[in-house]
A and B are shown apart, each in its own frame.
Chain A
Amino acid sequence: MTGVQHQAPDTQVAIELRGVNKWYGEFHVLRNIDLTVHRGERIVICGPSGSGKSTMIRCINRLEEHQQGRIVVDGVELTSNLKDIDAVRRDVGMVFQSFNLFPHLTVLENCTLAPIWVKKMPKAEAERVAMRYLERVRIPEQANKYPGQLSGGQQQRVAIARSLCMSPKIMLFDEPTSALDPEMVKEVLDTMVSLAQEGMTMLCVTHEMGFARQVADRVIFMDRGEIVEQAPPQEFFANPRSERTRLFLSQILGH
Chain B
Amino acid sequence: MAETGTAPGATPVARPPALAVGPLGWLRTNLFSSWGNTLLTLLILWGLWRVVPPLFDWLVTSSLVNVASSQECRGAGGACWAFVAEKWRFIIFGTYPADEQWRPSLAVALIIGMMLFSTWRGAWRPWLGLVWLGGTAVVLALLWGGFLGMTYVSNELWGGLPLTLLLTVIGLGAAFPLAVLLALGRRSDLPAVKAICVGFIELVRGVPLISILFMASVMFPLFMPAGVTVDKLLRAQIGLILFAAAYQAEVVRGGLQAIPKGQYEAADSLGLSYWQKMRKIILPQALALVIPPMVNTFISFLKDTSLVIIIGLFDLLSAAKAALTDPAWRGFYKEAYLFAGLIYFFFCFFMSRYSQRLEVELNRSRRR
A146 contacts B365, C-beta separation under 8 Å: yes
**Residues of B close to A90: CB separation below 8 A:** 271
Interface string of B273-289 (1 = CB under 8 A from A): 10010001100110010
**Residues of B close to A105: CB separation below 8 A:** 365
Choose the segment among B72-80, B174-182, B212-220, B260-268 that binds chain A (4+ C-beta atoms closer than 8 Å).
B260-268
Q: A113 interface residue, CB < 8 Å from B?
A: yes
Q: Whose C-beta in chain A lies nearest to the C-beta of B266?
A: A100
B266 contacts A61, C-beta separation under 8 Å: no
Interface string of B234-274 (1 = CB under 8 A from A): 00000000000000000000000000101101111111110
Q: How far is the CA of A149 from the CA of B366 in the complex (A)?
A: 8
Given contacts A86-B273, A118-B271, A149-B368, contact A100 B284 (CB under 8 A): no
Q: Whose C-beta in chain A lies nearest to the C-beta of B362?
A: A104
A100 contacts B280, C-beta separation under 8 Å: no
Q: A98 interface residue, CB < 8 Å from B?
A: yes
Q: How far is the CA of A86 from the CA of B277 in the complex (A)?
A: 13
**Residues of A close to B271: CB separation below 8 A:** 86, 89-90, 114, 118, 166
Q: How far is the CA of A98 from the CA of B285 in the complex (A)?
A: 18
**Residues of A close to B269: CB separation below 8 A:** 61, 63, 89, 92-94, 163
Residues from 58 to 96 in B contacting A, C-beta threshold 8 Å: none
**Residues of A close to B260: CB separation below 8 A:** 98, 100
Residues from 114 to 161 in A contacting B, C-beta threshold 8 Å: 114, 117-118, 146, 148-149
A215 to chain B, nearest CB (A): 22
Q: How far is the CA of A106 from the CA of B364 in the complex (A)?
A: 12
**Residues of B close to A163: CB separation below 8 A:** 269-270
Which secondary structure characterizes the binding site on chain B?
A: helix
- Determine which of A62, A96, A104, A106 lies in contact with B266 in the assembled complex, contact meaning CB atoms within 8 Å: A96
- Determine which of A113, A146, A148 lies in contact with B280 in the assembled complex, contact meaning CB atoms within 8 Å: A113
Interface string of B11-37 (1 = CB under 8 A from A): 000000000000000000000000000
A101 contacts B266, C-beta separation under 8 Å: yes
A80 to chain B, nearest CB (A): 11
**Residues of A close to B367: CB separation below 8 A:** 146, 148-149
**Residues of A close to B267: CB separation below 8 A:** 102
Q: How far is the CA of A86 from the CA of B271 in the complex (A)?
A: 5
**Residues of A close to B268: CB separation below 8 A:** 61-63, 89
B270 contacts A162, C-beta separation under 8 Å: yes
Instruction: Tell me the count of chain B residues lying within 8 A, CB to CB, of chain A.
Output: 23
Q: A103 interface residue, CB < 8 Å from B?
A: yes
With most chain A CB atoms within 10 A of its CB, the pick from B271, B366, B367 is B271
**Residues of A close to B280: CB separation below 8 A:** 113, 117
A63 contacts B285, C-beta separation under 8 Å: no
**Residues of A close to B368: CB separation below 8 A:** 148-149
B302 to chain A, nearest CB (A): 28
A71 to chain B, nearest CB (A): 15
Q: How far is the CA of A63 from the CA of B269 in the complex (A)?
A: 7
Q: How far is the CA of A93 from the CA of B272 in the complex (A)?
A: 12
Q: How far is the CA of A162 from the CA of B267 in the complex (A)?
A: 11
**Residues of B close to A102: CB separation below 8 A:** 263, 266-267, 281, 285
A123 to chain B, nearest CB (A): 14
B265 contacts A103, C-beta separation under 8 Å: no
With most chain A CB atoms within 10 A of its CB, the pick from B267, B270, B272, B366 is B270
Residues from 343 to 368 in B contacting A, C-beta threshold 8 Å: 362, 365-368
A114 contacts B365, C-beta separation under 8 Å: no
**Residues of B close to A93: CB separation below 8 A:** 269
A interface residues, Cβ below 8 angstroms from B: 61-63, 86, 89-90, 92-94, 96, 98-106, 113-114, 117-118, 146, 148-149, 162-163, 166
**Could you show 30 A-B contacts with beta carbons less than 8 Å apart?**
A62-B268, A63-B265, A89-B270, A89-B271, A90-B271, A94-B266, A96-B262, A96-B265, A96-B266, A99-B262, A100-B262, A100-B266, A101-B266, A102-B267, A103-B285, A104-B284, A104-B288, A106-B365, A114-B270, A114-B272, A117-B280, A118-B272, A118-B276, A146-B367, A148-B365, A148-B367, A148-B368, A149-B367, A163-B269, A166-B271
